[in-house]
């Protein structure tokens, strides 16, 4: 019994546990705040580079642009930075001492526009493992993001987002359609489709995907997808909008891990700036209304049909009852008539006998 349990429990746990990246993906960001740990909303900026296998500081020039702060917040899944941000030349002012703060990996970072990923900005790779945090005239940006995230403030139809991931580059894939977020079934999902989603989000490609396999009552939008589709807008991979998918279970929702592969990066590659579905909500509502009307008409027809059958059957029995009654009445009359006849004939015969 215990042997069976020992065998079954890890299997069950494996089935329930969500797919997760072993660690952060290349280019992932985190904000390290005054309490030392990576915080969700504010802190000194760090980046993870896969080639170095570590988290490192990002150095920017003094008075650096607000596009950078907004880019950082957008990559982390927020609508933008709170104010223009600030930068710190001496990280220890934030209670994270220079010793604790990792050496810089990027320097001279400059964003000419607000991008969905920091590695789309201009930068120089730091090749020397420096002793000091940032060189003269540069500092680590201290970023404060606005608490409302991209997904909670006015998403657009066709928007994609990754939820509940440890890093912003991974999570449960959801698509915003018909005024609500819904998941994607992993049954027909491919890595090419993952590339599509990741590109819409500003990454270069997908690392891997798997079923989220965590129970939950989530709306499911998509199941059938074009397997070869790797368009930089995910909406090109499905025929949308669809009605809620009922042929898929929430255990099969897609958990996706994206990455920014600098060798695959092409600055001309578009990202989700223009991936909205203009017709989305209206058509879906129209289809939904049509479906409801169709169901109503069919059920009304069925009810009418059943009623007609019942009424016909009722009439039939009534008819027979009536016929039977008439028949019986007629028979009764006849019997009476016959018995009267018999009586008469008896009288006649009596008379006759009397005559005889």
Ligand X SMILES: *[C@@H]1O[C@H](CO)[C@@H](O)[C@H](O)[C@H]1NC(C)=O
Residue nearest to ligand X (CB): 37
Q: Hey, how many other C-beta atoms are within 10 angstroms of the C-beta on 272?
A: 20
Compare residues 195 and 252 and give the one whose CB is closer to ligand X: 195
Q: Hey, how many other C-beta atoms are within 10 angstroms of the C-beta on 147?
A: 13
Compare residues 52 and 214 and give the one whose CB is closer to ligand X: 52
Compare residues 276 and 288 and give the one whose CB is closer to ligand X: 276
Rounded to the nearest whole angstrom, what is the least distance from the CB of residue 94 to ligand X in the complex? 7
Rounded to the nearest whole angstrom, what is the least distance from the CB of residue 51 to ligand X in the complex? 4
Rounded to the nearest whole angstrom, what is the least distance from the CB of residue 49 to ligand X in the complex? 6
Contact 267, 226 (CB under 8 A): no
Compare residues 2 and 263 and give the one whose CB is closer to ligand X: 263
Rounded to the nearest whole angstrom, what is the least distance from the CB of residue 109 to ligand X in the complex? 15
Compare residues 231 and 245 and give the one whose CB is closer to ligand X: 231
Rounded to the nearest whole angstrom, what is the least distance from the CB of residue 54 to ligand X in the complex? 7
Compare residues 71 and 149 and give the one whose CB is closer to ligand X: 149
Compare residues 8 and 282 and give the one whose CB is closer to ligand X: 282
Q: Which residues bind ligand X (CB under 6 A)?
A: 33-35, 37-39, 41-42, 51-52, 77, 90, 92-93, 95, 103, 105, 126-127, 129, 149, 151-152, 161, 163-164, 195, 226, 228-232, 273-274
Rounded to the nearest whole angstrom, what is the least distance from the CB of residue 180 to ligand X in the complex? 13
Rounded to the nearest whole angstrom, what is the least distance from the CB of residue 118 to ligand X in the complex? 16
Rounded to the nearest whole angstrom, what is the least distance from the CB of residue 214 to ligand X in the complex? 14
Rounded to the nearest whole angstrom, what is the least distance from the CB of residue 173 to ligand X in the complex? 11
Compare residues 62 and 313 and give the one whose CB is closer to ligand X: 62
Compare residues 149 and 259 and give the one whose CB is closer to ligand X: 149
Question: Who's near 307: CB < 8 A, 6+ residues apart?
Answer: none
In whole angstroms, give the CA distance from residue 356 to residue 351. Answer: 8
Secondary structure string (H, E, C) spanning the chain: CHHHHHHHHHHHHHHHCCCCCCCCCCCCEEEECCCCCEECCEEEEEEEECCCCEEEEECEECCCCHHHHHHHHHHCCECCECCCCEEECCHHHHCCCCCCCCCEEEEEEECCCCCCCHHHCEEEECCCCCCCCCCCCEEEEEEEECCCECCCCCCCCCCEEEECCCCCCEEEEEEEECCEEEEEECCCCCHHHHHHHHHHCCCCEEEEEEECCCCCCCCEEECCCCCCCCCCCHHHHCCCCCCCCCCCCHHHEEEEEEECCCCCCCCCCCCHHHCCCCCHHHHHHHHHHHHHHHHHHHHHHHHHHHHHHHHHHHHHHHHHHHHHHHHHHHHHHHHHHHHHHHHHHHHHHHHHHHHC
């Amino acid at each position: 019994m215990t042997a069976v349990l020992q065998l079954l429990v890890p299997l069950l746990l494996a089935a329930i546990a969500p797919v997760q990246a072993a660690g952060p993906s290349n280019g992932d960001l985190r904000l390290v705040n005054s309490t030392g740990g990576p915080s969700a909303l504010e802190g000194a900026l760090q980046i993870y580079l896969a080639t170095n296998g570590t988290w490192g500081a990002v150095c920017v020039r003094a008075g650096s642009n607000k596009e950078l702060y907004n880019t950082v917040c957008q990559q982390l899944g927020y609508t933008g930075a709170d104010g223009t941000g600030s930068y710190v030349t001496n990280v220890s002012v934030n209670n994270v001492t220079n010793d604790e703060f990792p050496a810089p990996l990027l320097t001279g970072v400059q964003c000419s526009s607000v991008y969905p990923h920091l590695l789309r900005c201009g930068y120089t790779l730091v090749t020397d493992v420096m002793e000091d945090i940032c060189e003269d005239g540069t500092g680590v940006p201290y970023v404060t993001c606005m608490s409302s995230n991209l997904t909670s403030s006015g998403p657009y139809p066709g928007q994609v987002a990754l939820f509940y991931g440890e890093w912003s580059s991974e999570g449960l894939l959801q698509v915003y359609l018909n005024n609500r977020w819904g998941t994607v079934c992993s049954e027909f999902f491919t890595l090419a489709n993952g590339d599509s989603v990741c590109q819409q989000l500003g990454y270069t490609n997908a690392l891997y995907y798997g079923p989220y396999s965590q129970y939950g009552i989530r709306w499911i939008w998509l199941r059938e997808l074009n397997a070869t589709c790797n368009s930089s807008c995910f909406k090109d991979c499905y025929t949308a909008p669809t009605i809620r998918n009922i042929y898929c279970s929430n255990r099969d929702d897609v958990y996706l891990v994206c990455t920014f592969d600098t060798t695959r990066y092409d600055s001309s590659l578009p990202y989700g700036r223009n991936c909205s579905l203009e017709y989305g909500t209206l058509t879906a509502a129209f289809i939904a209304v049509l479906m409801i009307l169709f169901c109503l008409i069919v059920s009304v027809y069925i009810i009418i049909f059943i009623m007609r059958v019942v009424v016909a059957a009722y009439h039939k029995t009534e008819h027979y009852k009536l016929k039977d009654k008439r028949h019986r009445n007629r028979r009764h009359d006849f019997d009476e008539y016959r018995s009267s006849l018999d009586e008469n004939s008896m009288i006649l015969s009596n008379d006759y006998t009397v005559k005889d």
